[in-house]
Each structure stands twice: as C-alpha cells, then as structure tokens.
Amino acid sequence: MTNPFQHRLDARSRLEQRRELIPIEGIDFSSNDYLGLAHHDGIRQVLMEALATGVALGSGGSRLLRGNHPEHEDLESFAADFFGSKGALYMATGYLANVALFTTLPERGDVIVMDELIHASAKEGIHASPVKRAKFAHNDAGACEDAIERARANGAKDVWIAVESVYSMDGDVAPLDDVMAIADRHGAYLIVDEAHATGVHGPDGKGLSAQYEGRDNLIALHTCGKALGQAGALVTLPAQMKDYIVNAARSFIYTTAPTPLSAIAVKAALKVVRDEPQRRERLMDLVNHARSLFPSAPGTAQIVPLMVGDDGAAFKLAKHLQAQGFDIRAIRTPTVPEGTARLRLSVTLNATEDNLNALARAYGERTAA
C-alpha cells in the first residue's frame, strides 16, 4: 500500500510550502507576546498563590458539565467591567470562539459580509456557517456598504459585518468608525476580532472597538494568547447573545473548559494592562523605531510586514536571519495571497532597540547582496 501522505508532503516541498515545527531560539521577532506578559513575574506569583490554595489544575469537563468553575465566572465578570460590555464569555481559544460566533449567531436567511483579508480562524467560522457570505475589498468601507446593499436587495434578513481591528499579516487598522456607522445605518451587527489590538491599542488597551462596547449590535473577540500572554479568548457581547451561545454553540458546549488557572492568569494579565500603561508606551516607542528602520513596510501597528513576494525567497531570507540569531518567520501561501510572501516582523517587549538595529543591518546586507 502506497503512502498518500508522503506524496502530498513531497508536493508541498516542490511548491516550497512545506512547514515544520522548529525550536524556540533567537531574539523574539515572531511571537505575539507584545507586552512580554508570558513571563511576567507578578502573574507567575498570582498563579503560585492560587496553586497553594488548592485551585484545580484542570477544569474536569465542559462548562455545562461540571467544568464551570468560580474562576471562570470571576474572570467574565471582571472582563465585562474592564471592557465596558454587558456580558463576557471565556472560551478555550480564539479559533473556537470564532467558530462559535459565526456558526451560532447568524441564522439562515442572514448574510455575513467580511473583509477579504480577515484572518484564518474567522474565515473557518464563516465558511462553517449555514448562511450566505460576501467579501468586500480590504478596509474599503464603501465596498462594505455596497455589499450590504446588495445583500438587502437579495432579501437578506440580518447582516453581520466581520472585520479585524488590527490585521494580523498586514499590520494595518480597520476604519471602525466608518464601518460602525454603516452597521448602524443598515441595522447590521458588527463582529470585531481584536486579537492583535487587545492589550495594545485603544483606551487602556481595551481594543479599538472600546468606544462602541455596550451596544446591542457589537460583538468583540479579545484573544488572551497574544498581548495578554496567556491562553483562551474572551468574547464581549450583549447578555442575551452570551446566553444563546452557551445554549447553542457546539464549539462551546462540546469543548473542555479552560483550566481555572488559565482564567486566573487572564484576569491577572488584564490587571497588568490596566495598571502598567508604561508597557504600552514602551512598545509604541519600539514600533516607531522599527518602522523608521523599515520605512517601506505597510501598515502602522506592531506587526511590520517586510514584503518579499516569492514564497521560496521569503523562506530562504527568514532562514538566513534565523541563522544570525533573529527569530523571524516567513509567511507564505496560503496564509497570504500568492505573490505576497513576506517576513512578519512582530515588535514585542522581548526585544530592544539595539536588537532591532542589528536585525535591520542583517536584513539590509542580505537583501542588498
């Protein structure tokens, strides 16, 4: 019997699209640990104290089957207050949260209108949804409104707009004021994935949709595994929507709950975001420095795309820089459109200005050769 998987792997190798897991080493220019909270001593101490009091190591089941611990509810109450929402739901991952949102809230007869560059987990949730969908040109509010008007003309009941606030591969920011105005004008719901904004952008790190929290037509997804340095995802939304997801979202109902320790860590991380604004200030200084070193890079946020174009060339450039001690990764097809391969320079507090200067020199020497 022939092994079909080796054939498939060989095909990926020929296309220079084969991936592999590699050890963590080198200066961090690839993680999403923007504020350096994955190694925060204060959060570690909070977890040690929780362990000493006998907090459960595991949840023991899904939230509906004895997996709903006081720590989960405490986090959700704190998060609702922190973000200014009417409700918050803690889920195991951002991926599962996106699947829950898009497969549960829209109903047959609705339409999801999504930015064409929204990231993979949102796309997976949208593609799994039973409703029709339409794309609009990236960050083009006019195209978004045109798509809604076409959907209404074709008999759409409710419309759900799906965007990221900070785009994970392009480092640019959605025109949320315009999109929220469109949602209000057309009676649509707006789902904002704040994965790369939570903890970093918006008032007190609350994300770029913070000024709209509490509205009945806003749902925000706050990933906990990026700037918060922990795990899981918080969805902030109207209380009735939260209750409905608990009752109907299969990716919530049939998933083991995050550990109580994870909930404690996320709450502690939110407190750090609230109480240590100097971390965001230092990060923005580093972002500005990085963008001065790479002035042609698109975007404005802490994700700095160094455009290469060809998948193979991007991979080889990343390998060269990794060999120089810089942990920077190539982003290739199908994560980004063909011909737009890049190095994704992620600016975090785990690197310094001197580290950025050294990376820029190594990058310049290689690309000039």
Distance of CA 226 to the CA centre of its chain: 7
Catalytic site residue from 33, 71, 145, 193: 193
Q: Is 193 a catalytic residue?
A: yes
E strands, 214-333, are 218-223, 233-236, 303-309, 326-327, 329-331
The C-alpha atoms of residue 231 and residue 58 are separated, in whole angstroms, by 14
86 is catalytic: no
User: Is 168 known to be catalytic?
Assistant: yes
> Which among 32, 129, 346, 350 is annotated as catalytic?
32
Distance CA 302, CA 210 (A): 19
Interatomic CA distance for residues 276 and 262, integer angstroms:
21
Whether the CB-CB separation of 324 and 362 falls below 8 Å is answered with: yes
- Name the active-site residue from 40, 69, 72, 119: 119
Residue of 28, 76, 110, 164 marked active site: 164
**Helices 120-128 & 94-104 angle (0-180, nearest 10):** 30
Q: Which of 168, 209, 251, 350 is catalytic?
A: 168
Is residue 178 flagged as an active site residue? no
Q: Which of 135, 206, 222, 226 is catalytic?
A: 226
Query: Is the alpha carbon torsion for 27, 31, 36, 39 positive or negative?
Result: negative
* Range 78-83, long-range pairs (CB < 8 A, 24+ positions): 78/267, 78/270, 79/222, 79/234, 79/236, 79/266, 79/267, 79/270, 80/236, 82/206, 82/270, 82/274, 83/206, 83/207, 83/210, 83/213, 83/220, 83/222, 83/234, 83/236
Give 326's strand partners: 27
- C-alpha–C-alpha distance, residues 350 and 39, integer Å: 10
In the residue annotation, 119 being an active-site residue is answered as yes
Handedness of CA 351, 356, 361, 364 (dihedral sign): positive
**Of 72, 135, 196, 222, catalytic:** 196
3-state secondary structure of 233: strand
Give the bridge partners for 331, in sequence order.
342
Instruction: Evaluate whether 105 touches 219 at the Cβ level (below 8 Å).
Output: yes
Q: Could you tell me the end-to-end alpha-carbon distance of the chain, in angstroms, rounded to an integer?
A: 48
Among all chains, which residue has been given the structure tokens 């698109």? 298
- Count of helix runs (H) and strand runs (E) in the chain: 13, 12
Give the active site residues: 32, 119, 164, 168, 193, 196, 226
